[in-house]
Amino acid sequence: MRSLRIRLFQKTDFVFADSLRALVGWNQTKNDWMRFLAHQPDGCFIAEWDGQPVGTATTTIYEDKVAWIGMVLVHPNAQRRGIGRALLEHCIAFLKPRVACIKLDATPLGKALYDTLGFRDEWTLKRWGTDHAELPATPMQYRVRRWQEGDHEAIQVLDADAFGVLRWPMMHRLTWQPSRALIHLTPKQRVSAFGVVRKGARAHYLGPVVANSIAAAGPLIKSLVLALPNERIFWDIPDANTGAVELAQRLGFQPQRPLIRMFLGENKWPGDPQRIFALAGPEIG
């Protein structure tokens, strides 16, 4: 008799999970899996079919208010057997008593499943990519410098205002892995933007970038991209953030694929896509 079981993700599952991730061509790395497990050890799951691992899903809770579901993957040989749905239902059952709102950034394939589980559309976004960012040849004079320990409080305030809830532990963990993290300062030395670019399996990932205006985000993004000449970069941008979209086009990025932000429950802390210039990742918001 065939059996499906959902169980907790353990450290020994990294190899399976990352091989599945590679098989579907996603950009995360072992560092990302380790970050999910460090952030939510009780909320990362493996689906087993006849005792063999066949699927993954992660959850990330922010401030006991909002949670993200990510890394919903089912091995191609095991798809269309209800495993994706079972993983989602397991994540929802885990999250419902803990948060008021569950969110995710869906691929068109995933959306078909999320619709049937009651998720509603919030806003659209796109993955943009380039193999060769186009930057001005002349040296740039920007009020941009490395993000340091002393900047944490200002970054948290900026991020929580834009994202809707505090996601600090996850943001901080992003700077553990090989990454470049910068801030932009106003003439009065206030933090007006922050951003990170980190290594992915297929491309560098630009994000998160959060700022109050394109005037602050633009120089910061150019400085992040400047360090990666002739390298592949992915950048996920809310369609509503037209300043970021125009900048991506000017820097030579091309649209790669559409995604849609969806939510289940009460969307009490929606955040502001006009101030999100780059996602932290579709798997974490």
Ligand X SMILES: CC(C)(COP(=O)(O)OP(=O)(O)OC[C@H]1O[C@@H](n2cnc3c(N)ncnc32)[C@H](O)[C@@H]1OP(=O)(O)O)[C@@H](O)C(=O)NCCC(=O)NCCS
Could you list the residues that contact ligand X (CB under 6 A)? 24, 72-74, 79-85, 106-107, 109-110, 112-113, 116
Closest to ligand X by CB, 110 or 195 = 110
Amino acid of residue 229: P
Coil vs helix vs strand at 14: helix
Instruction: Name the minimum Å distance from CB 28 to ligand X.
Output: 12
Coil vs helix vs strand at 133: coil
- Contact call for residues 18 and 30 (beta carbons, < 8 A): yes
Instruction: Name the minimum Å distance from CB 78 to ligand X.
Output: 7
Looking at residue 217, the DSSP 8-state letter turns out to be H
Closest to ligand X by CB, 84 or 195 = 84
The pair of three-digit structure tokens given for residue 60, joined into one six-digit string: 């990330």
Instruction: Name the minimum Å distance from CB 82 to ligand X.
Output: 4
Instruction: Name the minimum Å distance from CB 188 to ligand X.
Output: 42
What's phi and psi for 245, nearest 5 deg?
-65, -45
Closest to ligand X by CB, 115 or 246 = 115
Give the C-alpha distances (Å, rounded to integers) separating 234 from 38, 112, 132. Answer: 24, 24, 11
Instruction: Name the minimum Å distance from CB 129 to ligand X.
Output: 17
Closest to ligand X by CB, 106 or 166 = 106
Coil vs helix vs strand at 25: coil
Instruction: Name the minimum Å distance from CB 33 to ligand X.
Output: 15
Helices (H), 96-193: 108-116, 152-163, 168-174
Closest to ligand X by CB, 152 or 202 = 202
Instruction: Name the minimum Å distance from CB 32 to ligand X.
Output: 14
Looking at residue 131, the DSSP 8-state letter turns out to be S
Closest to ligand X by CB, 109 or 157 = 109
Closest to ligand X by CB, 179 or 256 = 256
Instruction: Name the minimum Å distance from CB 274 to ligand X.
Output: 24
The pair of three-digit structure tokens given for residue 204, joined into one six-digit string: 């560098």
- Contact call for residues 109 and 147 (beta carbons, < 8 A): no
What does the CA dihedral 268, 46, 26, 173 come to, rounded to 10 degrees? 60
Residue number closest to ligand X, CB atom: 84
Amino acid of residue 151: D
Closest to ligand X by CB, 27 or 107 = 107
Other CB atoms within a 10 A radius of the CB of residue 202 amount to: 14
Cβ neighbours for 99, distance < 8 A, ≥ 6 positions apart = 61, 64, 65, 66, 67, 265
